[in-house]
Structure 1
């Protein structure tokens, strides 16, 4: 028996991610540089050290190499540390019951307690200035403590704020307190013994101010507004006159944002929906640039240079590179005056039904800058709009149908109206007839051949509340809220007749029909797909329950639009993009979380237009999202045996071998991936969990879940795929995985329970009918194994990768181990001298070149149950449980990047790659076969040259193109830091002059430069579809001094 020396280890999960926020459109270029796991509550960075308040006290981390933070020191407290402030070599730490602690960290490896002060109440935040600590102390307001003598801190004074003090920031002799429902309190602390209120700002009754940051004469407040469905955001307040603060602007963000940090013209907010980055260069119109959707709920954020440090009580410290933040899709937005319910697009014009503000007409020819062309204030509340030619038909609730001439968008004119008896919620126009979903008055049919005098033709009283309508031919399809989906014959409009109905699971809000298929937006039950080929007997084909982000408890599908095999669903969680090519097995292929609640949508080409109504009273308007770059994996085919669960798969040639649980193994012909053909099955002794193919032999790891001690390793002859034959069995303890090399099988065993010992069993399989035990290597659990030459690589549930010398099978010896993999390592693959380890927390990459000293290279964080990894070339394919397949570029081992994902219908257990096809053992989803394609988007220009040089007291930029295809023009962006934030410096687009056959020459002069500074320039080209490509940077050192 070989036993490794027992040691006490502290385990960390280290993460390196290059994140794609959505699988479509231009994203925010944010890279996660590292993560260390523990319950971390707050962080401050000073130099190359991060000081973290954790559940167990203070942790000091060396973050000089962000991809691999190193713990260098700790100070253990009796309870959780909540907040931290750093001043030089002194740490001020707040804990739940110990109050304020003062620590010396001049030696970061050995923090020393200098003194403490017991604070009664609930201390939430601390700010230290001029030897005084200012504490936001919940219901006790602001407390000021003298820390000039750290050994004996003394209370100087208090100010009992009217609310609940959550956060505090000091600027000069003024303290700013985020005081929950009482808003921002501004307090004069020039006499700390007698603090005096100067002024306050409180926006709304249900607003909860959580945190405050002050820069110059501006206060930035992170707030939660419980009046608006728990909306949160950033409020910017002018405090130049502290006695009379004035609100400048606000920016709502998804989730419940608790904290804010300001760096330059950027605000960083953290909350349960992750990290949000906001451009506050214009305080009157702050703009959210993008987000990092953390798997955990961040509690704090700290910015140092171009790096963001976030803490979470679930996943510890995350380190994120925010050096290159560019606007996230959508392409643009337009804030309408009221609550946007619906949108229709014709050409480059969007028509928005905007509640009490009626019809808004918006020019979207430049999606990045929509412009209001005109508006018509309807008498009622505009809920829906349908545009036909130069006429807009508006469902105007209690004012019925409004018909508006929009031939001159700047001056729309009412042509006529029809006051329906109910509340007009939706309208569809075909020919000379308008069909109105009229709420409690069912379906109304109106002749609009003479718009100035619409004529009632007929009605059908639906059983509930008619909310949506779609018409094709002589059939109207009505989303009838609580009664589901109604199909009505309107061939005789004076006497509509019910053909059939389908009672959906929830409340039918909207409907779209394509061919013989109806798509229903069914409230909290998402998307329902119904076969209406026989209208008298509609049949449910499939349903997909959409899920919103963390801050939306139950997402609500409000509207649906279908293009080809893709359904676009608008709901409270924003936009969901669903592959509906197989209605019985729909898959989510993309999602964009809008600022508010998306009620309506329209798809035109590669753009999605969303009517984003905000949160119960807040007004967002129109959002435009680019989906042109979206190219998900394509499903080629699937095969599922309902009597078993696909646990593992291997492919040889055109044959797939599936370990199918209680159904044994299945052998399939996959020469035609769209229609896999079952060749045969073979019962195994127990539940088939893993399979390995070598030549014409299958090696199967079986497990008996009822009797785990004696599971069975089995060998099966598959030389005749249509008639497999069992050759032999060998008892092993709880088999998890199997690898065969030559005549030796290596079985990874164990489940970590007291009655099932684990490790590696080594078996001679030269004679399958009479296998011989050769040796074993003991460990608690062995989850997966890979063998190369005389070395076996094993991962186990104890967070370790172990390398074992198996040159002498009877006495395997440990060569080395890496203790630092995920909390539960499940699988590995080895390519050359690199191991790829999959487990809870994602994928880790380990250098194996020296087995005695394994080296961590990087990792890619993946939320969910990461079960398996397969590496092919420079791509890693990860089976991720209920999240399906993740595809990761590992060409740069130090910086893995997500390429794409595919949400399989079941639970992805194992993955195997053969040529360009990916086979996923999808548990109850069966065998899924995918082909992975990459979309190549040509740039608008071929750039010949791009230079930057000083000309007098200006910088001159020149560039030449060889060809230009559909090029709209250029922008010049500048930064004073190469990897920093770049700002556009040309006021107008520099228009293109080239063509597809010839290029052109351009130049631009930057007049606003200063001597002694270095400037970096990037050239951005923009094509007709607003696709942008960045070139550069080029640098110039400016020097105005005259030469002697």
Structure 2
């Protein structure tokens, strides 16, 4: 009987288990069927609200379920301005350009030819005709009358007859083997075709069926685009700047003017006597060309992003950028252009066109986007434009701290209306260092836009700024004359600046010599000096009186020049072309010679030791370099004695005594040249990227690495085994972390280390202490007593911060790997985000012998790129921003030494930064925005909303329902209603949801999500009164 009962009990249990499994399978299949149905929203309606702070919406469509999530976000990207579109998702290739003439838009697609589009109703553009067979890869186009002139990047010029918009036909072409980019068409029957390094091709198209070549405009660097007015051509020549040509005799064009812009010039538009330029560094530049031989700079407007295209229509200018959308600028007063609006397309804005009321954007992957200008100008989100990239934020009650890329650190007082009132600035001394020279205990630095900076080297390991002078231009090089009492600066377009530095704390400008082009290098010998103009001239000056150099002679070279050296009486000059130029300084006008280098060789840097010249160059083979060694002792021309192939793209070389240093990317290579023609590599060390120069600290064993990443000291006591040593620099250049601690503010600067500032009674900031590091910094973790600082070389420094006025290094731990980004610390355990290698757990109880306890590989599908970028500890869990794989949740086991994956959440974009605030997780994702995730049930994180951002976000935090973002041009405050909501599903086609009313007026997106599917309705709701739930909202739905 007992056996029978046991068998019966086992049978019942087994039957129950089978029923449970069957139910689970049925529920899973049912849920899968629900989640697999497409999610569609066809209409939105506002219903009477259940309360003053509630907004009730009814959504109609299909695919709704109890798991459908709905949220509102402020339309910070101004996508509500987009009122029409013509998607190209089903068409291969990239949409490169759009041009508008009357009621027609003409689209150039890199692989799908030219489309003619009817825009008589801009909200509903329709394709009328397509011509594909005549093209290989269209890039740009211009339309004049019944003809469209198309630049095909892989073919040449194609001319279309578009008189019948439904049947555009190719009627003429000019085939060229060189790549083609922008073009311009003249009413005089001339087409100008930009061809990169080949310059600009001039074609006579008076007979469109038989275009013919009649001339060419030379390029200094890379001709991207060209504009034409009357008989004048304006060429955007990348680093060569703007070049203006007279075409009255097109067979023999004359160069009238050349204007370097310091950055990469990509686009040019001319309107009567005004020229508008899109420059990578300076943004929008406006020139007066009423006298084309002497263009005058009228104004500049800094705009975030790399300019791709410009168009002007009346007083409105559209400025298309690579990743930061399209900026709308009022140019009614060309001396004071004003940004009046923007639109952020989904991907990259490749081209733009304007009409009276609409903006047409060529979005690289999403097709033609049509925006209403009145809406583009009416973005209502609160944005504090600070004119600079904000890299970090910290909050201390009503005080907000902002780290600025070019303006140092600022503190603001917030008032009730969210207005930021500046309370104090801890100014940036300098950012990128381009050159340096040493005299006694003083270091003189050329720091680009930050001018001449002077640092005191008297205290071991400490560099404190004691003087500076910003006299205009861009400081590229500095040399010292008169035993260190005179500094001469090559200041780009501002020419030569002569500065009295006899009293380093009070440098004084005593002479300026302009009109020499774009000066980027200087070389001094007894009684003379050479100044290098990047746009093709070498100027020789008499410095018998060092306080007032006099121009002696100038030599023009057909090249973009990079550097020069002197041996005996001969100057050796290199440029972008494959030549080495020789100039005898005794007879410079008649002595020019040149040595041809191998085809495809591009010189980068040169140096001389004894009778040998070392020339570093890029090779014709991609991603390789070569070191060329010339013997200068023989009579006549330099004799090539050795050619050494080098891997990678080397940037520069420097020679000290019998040691040559090469810098490829982030590695310093050391070569012994005791045998000049047989150099041998003796060492290589990682130093991080951005280094521009290597200078000597007097006659000692210390060198300085100078560059975009600041200043670092290199100990070369053993020339074959240099090592980086700790340096403290009194400078804040790139803030990557801020932590407010009462009256103290901890500042982590990428290049200059850890700083402590204190706040005075007025809210200003004063320096208290600084701790430097050998390498550039990546991240940090701060607790009550210590700051753990991670550098680019994989070294973790533990800093005691209990006495802010005297920071103490407690330990240094070498973790042995450089590919680290995120950092979290608990007790003696360190958790690191190691990219594609996953998550690492380290025990650092013994700093001299850290132990790697676990390296957790990320188990995600092959189609997803899992890459641990950042992480944060929450109770007994580790949350990881995991690249394309979204969010990973790991449980801590064995006292935190082991990790187990217990949850995940797929999210759009590439997740790379993560922060936690109360029960919410904020995850910044490239090309998606900012994800807000509810982690109250931490093993089952729930997506709340994705906030689309208009630019790259560097830092962020929540305060109530306000989301503060640091962006490219300032600080944004977004109203984000995240309170609890109620919803009811009425079948699969109706959903009623109660949402909290946002606290701030503006245009709002509606985000609807179910599982991996989501629908975004940009700018569908407009809140016109801050606290009105009824009557204050109007819904506008644009059917897709």
Same fold flag (TM > 0.5): no
Scaled to the shorter chain, the TM-score interval is 0.3 to 0.5
Q: Calculate the TM-score normalised by the size of structure 1.
A: 0.42
| Higher relative contact order, chain-length normalized (CA < 8 Å, sep 6+) | 2
